[in-house]
Structure 1
Amino acid sequence: MRPLDPRLLRQARAARSYVVLTAALGVLSAALVVVQAFAIAHALGPVVAATSPGGSGAVDDGALARWLTVLACVVVGRAGVAWAQERFGRRAATLVVADLRRQVVQHAVALGPRPPAGTSPADVTTLATRGLGDLEPYLVRFLPQLLLTALVTPAAVLVVWGLDWVSAVVAVVTIPLVPFFMWLIGTMTAGTSERRLATVERLGSQVLDLVAGLPTLRAFGREIGPGARVRALGESSRRATMGTLRIAFLSGAVLELLTTLCVAVIAVGVGLRLVYGHVELVPAIAVLVLAPEIFLPLRRVGFEFHASTDGLAAGERAFAVLDAPSPRPGTRPVPDLVGASIELDDVSVRAPGRDVLAPARLSARIDLGNGSPGGGRVVALRGPSGAGKSTVVLLLLGLLRPDAGRVALRSPAAGAVEPVDVADVDAAAWWDRVAWVPQRPAIGPGTVRDVVTDGRPVDADALAVAAATTGLDDVLADLPTGWDTPVGLGGVGLSVGQRQRVALTRALVGSADRPVVVLDEPTAHLDARGERCVLDTVRAWRDAGRTVVVVAHRASLLALADQVVDVTAEEVARA
C-alpha cells in the first residue's frame, strides 16, 4: 500500500499545496530540533561539569542565559510549527474532501443511474457522505508525520553522525526495523480497511432501502417490524468500528515498544562510553536529546497507521468511481417533435447484479402527438415486475444507454435523414422537452406553492386549475395553511399519495411547453380517488396534444392508453 497516492495530488489541487506547505514546515521543524538539542547540551553541559566532583563550581551566566534564550525561542517555534500544521492541515483536509466529494457526485451523475461495476447508487451515496470523511485524519495526522519522517529523521541522523558516529551507526541499523514491522502489520491486516468501508457502504445501502420503504411499510402497518433489522445493522457497524480500533491500538503498541527499545540501545551505549570517557559530555547530551527525535516521527507514523489505511481505502473507492469512463455527452440538436416518433430497435439492457436482460430485445415505435388540442397520445408500458419497464423509461430519457439495439428519434421534418439516437442528442435540450414524474418524486423543502411552481411565477388561476385536475385542491383543503403549508425535504409532512399529487401538479404546471410526459407507476400507493385524479391528469395532457408515456399495471390506465408496449425480460444464456 502506497502511503501517498499520486492520484490524490492530481485530483485535488488543495492536496498539492498542502504537501508543499507540510514539506516546508518539516524542514523548519528539522532545523528547530537540531538547534534545540545543541541549546540543551550547551546549557546543561557546563552546569553538570561545574557542579560535578572535581568541577570548578563556576558557570558562565551570560552563555547560559543566551542558550536558555535560544531554547525558549526554539520551544515557541516548534509550538508555532505544530499549530500551523494542525490549522492548515484541517483546512486542506476540508478542501480536499469537499473537492473529491464534488468530483465523485458530478462523475456519478455523468455515469447515470448505473454506477461502476461492483458498486450501487447507495454505495456512491455512502462514499460521498461518510466514506470520504476518512481522508481527513489521513491528511491531518498521518501525512505530516510521514513527511517529517522523510525530513527530520535523516537530518537528525546526520547531526548525530557528526557528534558520535557509533550512535549514528546504531540508529542507522535500528531504523529499518520500524518500517519492516509496519510492513509486517500492514501485510497481516491487509484488506481490513477495505472490508470495513465495504461494510459501512453495505450498511448504508440497507438503511437507505429501509428508510425509502418506510412509507410502504407504514401503509401496511409493518413499520415496527424492521426494528430488529436496524439493531442488527447497528451491531454490525459496531463490530466493524471496534475491529478497526483494535488494529490501531495493537499496531501503535507494537511500534511504540520497538522505537522505545531502539532509543534505549542508543542511550545505554552513550552512557557507558561517557562513563569510560570515550565521548565528551556536551556531544553526549546532544546525542541523547536527538535520539528520541530520530524515532519520534516514525512512532507517530505507526500510531496513525490506521488513519492511513482508512484514508487510502476511501481514496481508492473514490478513484474507482472517478476512473470509470463516462459516456460521451450528446451534442446533436433535438429534432422537431411535431409528428415525430421514438423508435426502440431490438433494445436489450442487462440488469445489474443479475444474469437477466430487462428489457430483452424490445422493438416498438412510439408515435408522438402533434401538439394541437386533441392530438395527444397515451402510451402504456406493460409487463411483470422486473421486466425492465423503469429501465425503458431511463432509456427514453437518455439517462441510460442500451447494451444492444438503439433508441432513436425520427422526425418527419428530417425527411429521409437517419434517425438520431436519444443518447447522442444534447441532454439538456432533450430534458427541456420532457416532463418526468418518477415513482418517488424528488421534493425539496419549502412551501407547497414553492414545490409546485419550482420558484417560477405562475398565475393563481393556472395553479387552481392544475390543482383541481390532479386532486391537489382536496389536499390543500386539509392542510393548515393551504398553499403556504411548509414541506420538509423529500416531502416530509405529506403522505405518499399527497406527494404524488404535488408531483403531478408540478409537472402539469411546469411542462406546458413540453410535448412529452413520462410517468413511472403514477398510481402506485394511491387509493381509488387518487387513481381517478391521475387518470384525469393524463387525459388533460392528452387533450392538450402531448404524448404521455406511462408505466402501467392497473387496468384503468391500460384502458386509457392509445398504444400498449409489452416489456419482457429474458435470462442470459450461460456458456
Structure 2
Amino acid sequence: MFCARAIAGVLAEGLAHETAANVRAGLRAQMLGKLTRLGPRFIASQSSGALATLLTEGLVRLDPFYAAYLPQSAMAMFLPLALLVLVFPADWVSGVIMLASAPLLPLFMIVVGKGAEALNKRSWQRLGALSAHLFDVIEGLATLKSLNASRMQASIVAEVSNDYRVSVMAVLRVAFLSALVLEFFATLSIAMVAVYIGFRLYYGGMDFLPGFFVLLLAPEFYRPLRAMGAQHHAQMEALAVAEEINRLLDTSEPASPAQPVVLEKVDEIALEHVGFSYQPGQMVLHDVTLRLRRGERVALIGPTGSGKTTLTRLLLGLERPSLGEVRVNDVDLQRLDPAGWFRHVAWLPQSPTLCAGTVAEILRLAQPNASDAALLEALARAGAADFVAALPQGLSTLLGDHGAGLSGGQIRRLALARTLLKQADIFVFDEPEASLDGELITHINLLSAALAREHAVLVIAHRLEAVAGFERIVMLEEGHLRPAYA
C-alpha cells in the first residue's frame, strides 16, 4: 500500500506540474490577446511595471495552487474517506475519533488564517507598486543621473521595497501560524487514537493486529489534511493574483463589427467632419476633413499640442472619433476587420520601439516570412545596411530591449527598415525631423516621394521647412485643419 502511494504520488506530482504549466501558458495567451484587443490606449493608461509583473510573476504564483494545493485538496477529500472504510471494520471507535477530528483541522486552519487573503492582496498590490516604480526609475535613469536625483530615487525604491518586505513577512507569519496549528491538532488527533488503542491493548480489549493496523493508518489519514494546510497560503496568494487577472480579462473591449469587412487593398482613407475628445467637453479636434489617396504624398504640419498625434491615431485606427467618420475605400473604418486593417498600414512613430531580439527578428515583426535577402534590401533602402553589416553577427546580432547597443540614429534607421519591409498601402512617418538628423530627414523625404508612386504617404512635421517640396501640405492648429498648401 505504501509503495503504491509513493508511486501514485510521483505520477500525480508530475501531472500536476504539467497542468500548472499548461494553465499558465493558456492564461498568458488569453491576457496577451485581451491586451491586443483592448489596444494601445488602454495599455498606455496602465502601469507598464504592474502589467509586466502580472504577466510574469503573477502567473508564476498560480503554479503552487494548481501543482500543490488542488491535488492535495482532492486527496484530502477522498483518501481519508477511503481509509475510514478500512478502519471502521478493524475498530469502529478509532474510526469515530478520526471522523470527528478530521473536520476540525481545516476549520482551525480557516480560523487562524482569517485575514490572510487581505494580507495577500495588500502584498500583491505593494509588489505591483514596487515593480511600477522600479520600471519608471530604470526608464528615466539617464534623466535622473543628469539631474543628480538618482540617490533620492534610490532611497524611495528602498522604502517601497521595505514596505513589500513587511507585507510579505506578515503573510508568512500567518502561513506559518496556520501550519503550526494544523500540525498541532493533527498530532493531537493521532495521539488520541494511539492512547486509546494503547489502553485497549494493555487491558486486553483489543487484538494486536487490528490495533497495529489502525495505528499504521492513523498518520496516513491525517497526512493529506496536513499537506493541504501546508499549501493553504498558496491558495490565498493565488486568489489575490486571480482577482487581478479576472479584472483584466473582464475589462470591456471596444465594440467589434458583427460582420467585419476585409479589404484586398486600400486606395483611399478619409476623415469626414471628425471631432475627438479624450474627456467630455474638451475637444482636441474640430470638424476635421482630410483625404489621403494612393499615389499622393501629404504633409501634415502644426505646433506641439495641435492634435497631430491624435489625428494620426485616428487614421491608423488606434482611436475612434467622437464625431464624424473615418472611411477606408468609402467603408467606415469601424466596420473593418482590425487584424486585416493593420496589414494595410505601416507607421514609423516619432520614438520607435525595438524589442529585445536579433536584428532579423526585429525586422520580421513587420513581415514574418521575409527572406534574408528582403531584410537586406529593406536595410539598404533605410540606409542601415552598412552599420548592420558591421555588427558582430550581422542580422543574427542580439540587441537589448529598446535597441540597447545601438545609437539613437541607428535605432531610427532600423525602425525605418522595419517600416519599409511591411507590404502596406498606407505609410505614415511621424515627425522624422524630431531626430535632429538632417541626413535622415532628407532620406525619409526622398523615400516618401518614391513610395508615393504606388502608395499613400503621410508625413507629419513641426515645421514647413521640413516638408518643402511636398505635393500637398495641410496645417493643423488648435484642432482645426487649415486650407491646404500646393
> TM-score, structure 1 length as denominator?
0.70
392-401 or 88-97: bigger deviation: 392-401
Amino acid in structure 1 at the alignment position of 2:382: A
2:348 to 437, 440, 449: 437
Q: Secondary structure at the match of 1:440?
A: coil
1:332 to 261, 278, 289: 261
Contact 2:314 2:326 (8 Å CA) reproduced: no
Q: In structure 2, what is the equivalent of residue 6 of structure 1? A: none
* CA 358–458 in structure 1, closer or farther in 2 if over 3 Å, else same: farther
Q: How does 1:104-503 map to 2 (within 5 A)?
A: 104-115=31-42, 120-214=47-141, 226-330=153-257, 331-334=260-263, 337-338=266-267, 340-343=269-272, 345-350=274-279, 360=284, 362-371=286-295, 375-380=296-301, 382-384=303-305, 390-401=309-320, 404-409=322-327, 411=329, 414=330, 420-438=331-349, 439-443=351-355, 445-447=357-359, 451=363, 455-456=370-371, 457-458=373-374, 463-467=379-383, 472=384, 486-490=397-401, 491-503=403-415
* CA 197–460 in structure 1, closer or farther in 2 if over 3 Å, else same: closer
Alignment partner of 1:506 is 2:427: no
Contact 1:338 1:370 (8 Å CA) reproduced: yes
Q: In structure 1, what is the equivalent of residue 482 of structure 2? A: none
Count of equivalent residues? 467
Matched residues in 2 for 1:506 and 1:170: separation?
73
* CA 344–444 in structure 1, closer or farther in 2 if over 3 Å, else same: farther
* CA 501–262 in structure 1, closer or farther in 2 if over 3 Å, else same: same
> Greater Rg, structure 1 or structure 2?
1
Contact 1:181 1:255 (8 Å CA) reproduced: yes
* CA 291–480 in structure 1, closer or farther in 2 if over 3 Å, else same: closer
Matched residues in 1 for 2:184 and 2:77: separation?
21
Shift of 1:150: 0.4
* CA 232–334 in structure 1, closer or farther in 2 if over 3 Å, else same: farther
* CA 103–552 in structure 1, closer or farther in 2 if over 3 Å, else same: same
Contact 2:62 2:241 (8 Å CA) reproduced: yes
Contact 1:382 1:564 (8 Å CA) reproduced: no
Matched residues in 2 for 1:487 and 1:357: separation?
48
Shift of 1:306: 0.8
Structure with greater strand share of residues: 2
Deviation per CA, 1:433-479: give whole Å up to 9, x if none.
21112323235533489749964434977754531xxxx578679x5
Shift of 1:100: 1.5
Matched residues in 2 for 1:271 and 1:116: separation?
67
* CA 245–459 in structure 1, closer or farther in 2 if over 3 Å, else same: closer
Contact 1:116 1:324 (8 Å CA) reproduced: no
Deviation per CA, 1:101-142: give whole Å up to 9, x if none.
122112221221244999545433322212100121112221
* CA 164–217 in structure 1, closer or farther in 2 if over 3 Å, else same: same
Q: Secondary structure at the match of 1:562?
A: strand
Q: Secondary structure at the match of 1:345?
A: strand
Shift of 1:184: 1.7
Shift of 1:301: 0.9
* CA 283–554 in structure 1, closer or farther in 2 if over 3 Å, else same: farther
Give the percent of matched residue pairs that are identical in Structure 1 and Structure 2.
29
Shift of 1:506: 3.2
Matched residues in 2 for 1:505 and 1:552: separation?
20
Matched residues in 1 for 2:44 and 2:405: separation?
37
* CA 314–117 in structure 1, closer or farther in 2 if over 3 Å, else same: farther
81-90 or 221-230: bigger deviation: 221-230
Q: In structure 2, what is the equivalent of residue 562 of structure 1? A: 473
Alignment partner of 1:537 is 2:444: yes
Shift of 1:147: 0.6
Matched residues in 1 for 2:293 and 2:48: separation?
35
Amino acid in structure 1 at the alignment position of 2:298: R
Q: Secondary structure at the match of 2:347?
A: strand
Contact 1:337 1:368 (8 Å CA) reproduced: no
Q: How does 1:42-57 map to 2 (within 5 A)?
A: none
Matched residues in 2 for 1:180 and 1:462: separation?
67
* CA 271–424 in structure 1, closer or farther in 2 if over 3 Å, else same: same
Shift of 1:180: 1.5
Deviation per CA, 1:10-55: give whole Å up to 9, x if none.
xxxxxxxxxxxxxxxxxxxxxxxxxxxxxxxxxxxxxxxxxxxxxx
Matched residues in 2 for 1:462 and 1:179: separation?
65
Q: Secondary structure at the match of 1:250?
A: helix
Q: Secondary structure at the match of 2:251?
A: coil
Shift of 1:262: 2.1
Shift of 1:492: 1.8
Amino acid in structure 1 at the alignment position of 2:92: W
Q: In structure 2, what is the equivalent of residue 33 of structure 1? A: none
Structure 1 unaligned runs (5+)? 1-73, 351-355, 415-419, 569-575
Contact 2:388 2:395 (8 Å CA) reproduced: no
Matched residues in 2 for 1:183 and 1:381: separation?
63
> TM-score, structure 2 length as denominator?
0.81
* CA 396–381 in structure 1, closer or farther in 2 if over 3 Å, else same: farther
